[in-house]
Structure 1
Amino acid sequence: MTDKNRVIIFDTTLRDGEQSPGASMTLEEKIRVADALEELGVDVIEAGFAIASNGDFEAVNEIAKRLKNTSVCSLARASRKDIDRAWEALRPAVRPRIHTFISTSPLHMRAKLQMTPEEVLEAIADSVSYARNLCEDVEWSCEDGTRTEPDFLYKAVEIAIKAGATTINVPDTVGYTTPEEYKVMIQNIIKNVPNSDKAIFSTHCHNDLGLAVANSIAAVQGGARQIECTINGIGERAGNAALEEIVMAFRTRNDMLPYTTGVVTENITRTSHLVSSVTGLAVQNNKAIVGANAFAHESGIHQDGMLKDAGTYEIMTPESVGLKKSSLVMGKHSGRHAFREKLKDLGYELADNEFMRAFTEFKDLADRKKTVYDEDIISIVDDNLRDNDRMKITGWKFVCEKGKANSAELELEIDGETKTVFSEGNGPVDAAFKALRSLVGGEPHLQLYQVHAVTRGTDAQAEVTVRLEEDGKTVNGHAAHTDTLVASAKAYVNALNKLLVKREKTAPEEMSA
Structure 2
Amino acid sequence: MSHSDKDSVRIFDTTLRDGEQSPGASMTIEEKIRIAELLEAMRVDIIEAGFAIASNGDFECVQKIAQQIKQSTVCSLARAALPDIDRAAEALKQAARPRIHTFIATSPLHMKVKLQMEPKAVIEAIHASVSHARNFVDDVEWSAEDATRTEMDFLCQAVETAIKAGATTINLPDTVGYTTPREYREMFQSVINRVPGAAKAIFSTHCHNDLGLAVANSLAGVEGGARQIECTINGIGERAGNAAMEEVVMALRTRADAMPYHTNIETTSIMKASKLVSTVTGFNVQNNKAIVGANAFAHESGIHQDGILKNAETYEIMTPESVGVTKTTLVMGKLSGRAAFADKLKDLGYELGDNAFQDCFRRFKELADRKKNIYDEDIIALVDDEVATAENRLRLVALNTHSSTDGTAVADLTMSIDGEPKKSVVYGAGPVDAVFNAVKDVMDWHPRLVIFQVHAITQGTDAQAECTVRLEEDGRTVNGQGADEDTITAAARAYIAAMNKLMIKREKRAIAATG
Distance 1:193 1:500, change over 3 A: farther
Distance 1:326 1:241, change over 3 A: same
CA apart distance, 1:396: 2.2
TM-score (norm 1): 0.93
Distance 1:169 1:498, change over 3 A: farther
TM-score (norm 2): 0.93
Q: Deviations over 1:37-75 (max 9, x none)?
A: 011111000011111222221221111111121100011
CA apart distance, 1:447: 3.0
Partner of 1:168: 170
Distance 1:504 1:293, change over 3 A: farther
Q: Deviations over 1:457-494 (max 9, x none)?
A: 22221222223344555433321112211111221222
Query: 1:394 and 2:397 equivalent?
Result: yes
Partner of 1:137: 139
Partner of 2:262: 260
Partner of 1:90: 92
Q: Secondary structure at the match of 2:411?
A: strand
CA apart distance, 1:394: 2.2
Q: Which moved more, 1:86-95 or 1:275-284?
A: 275-284
Partner of 1:478: 481
Q: Give me the whole-angstrom Cα distance separating, in 1, the residues matched to 2:100 and 2:401.
A: 52
458, 461, 472: which one aligns with 1:455: 458
CA contact (8 A) 2:139 2:167 kept: yes
Provide the identity percentage.
Answer: 66
Partner of 2:430: 427
Q: Give me the whole-angstrom Cα distance separating, in 2, the residues matched to 1:180 and 1:443.
A: 52
Q: Secondary structure at the match of 1:396?
A: strand
Q: Which moved more, 1:430-439 or 1:194-203?
A: 430-439
Q: Give me the whole-angstrom Cα distance separating, in 1, the residues matched to 2:153 and 2:292.
A: 41
Q: Give me the whole-angstrom Cα distance separating, in 1, the residues matched to 2:109 and 2:476.
A: 26
Q: Which runs of 5+ in 2 are unaligned?
A: 510-515
Q: Deviations over 1:239-297 (max 9, x none)?
A: 11111111111111101000011101111112212211222211111111111111111
CA apart distance, 1:405: 5.1
Partner of 1:509: none
Partner of 1:303: 305
CA contact (8 A) 2:422 2:442 kept: no
**Aligned partner letter, 1:276:** S
CA apart distance, 1:356: 1.2
CA contact (8 A) 1:477 1:494 kept: yes
Q: Secondary structure at the match of 2:351?
A: coil
Query: 1:71 and 2:73 equivalent?
Result: yes
Q: Deviations over 1:301-338 (max 9, x none)?
A: 00111111111111111111122215561110111111
CA apart distance, 1:411: 2.7
318, 332, 335: which one aligns with 2:334: 332
Query: 1:407 and 2:410 equivalent?
Result: yes
CA contact (8 A) 1:24 1:498 kept: no
Q: Deviations over 1:366-391 (max 9, x none)?
A: 01111111111111000100212343
Query: 1:487 and 2:478 equivalent?
Result: no
**Aligned partner letter, 1:457:** G
Q: Deviations over 1:8-58 (max 9, x none)?
A: 100111111112222222222111111110111110000111112222212
Partner of 1:511: none
**Aligned partner letter, 1:370:** K
Q: Give me the whole-angstrom Cα distance separating, in 1, the residues matched to 2:446 and 2:154.
A: 47
CA contact (8 A) 1:328 1:342 kept: no
Q: Secondary structure at the match of 2:410?
A: strand
Q: CA RMSD in A?
A: 2.1
CA contact (8 A) 2:330 2:374 kept: no
Q: Give me the whole-angstrom Cα distance separating, in 2, the residues matched to 1:391 and 1:348.
A: 24
Q: Give me the whole-angstrom Cα distance separating, in 2, the residues matched to 1:196 and 1:445.
A: 52
Q: Secondary structure at the match of 1:330?
A: coil
Q: Give me the whole-angstrom Cα distance separating, in 2, the residues matched to 1:432 and 1:396.
A: 8
Q: Which moved more, 1:57-66 or 1:212-221?
A: 57-66
Q: Which runs of 5+ in 1 are unaligned?
A: 507-513
Partner of 1:293: 295
358, 361, 371: which one aligns with 1:359: 361
CA apart distance, 1:428: 2.4
200, 220, 223: which one aligns with 2:222: 220
Q: Secondary structure at the match of 1:94?
A: coil
CA apart distance, 1:191: 1.5
CA apart distance, 1:504: 8.3
Q: Secondary structure at the match of 2:5?
A: coil
Q: Give me the whole-angstrom Cα distance separating, in 2, the residues matched to 1:440 and 1:104.
A: 50
The higher relative CO (CA closer than 8 Å, separation ≥ 6) is in: 1
111, 119, 122: which one aligns with 1:117: 119
Q: Secondary structure at the match of 1:367?
A: helix
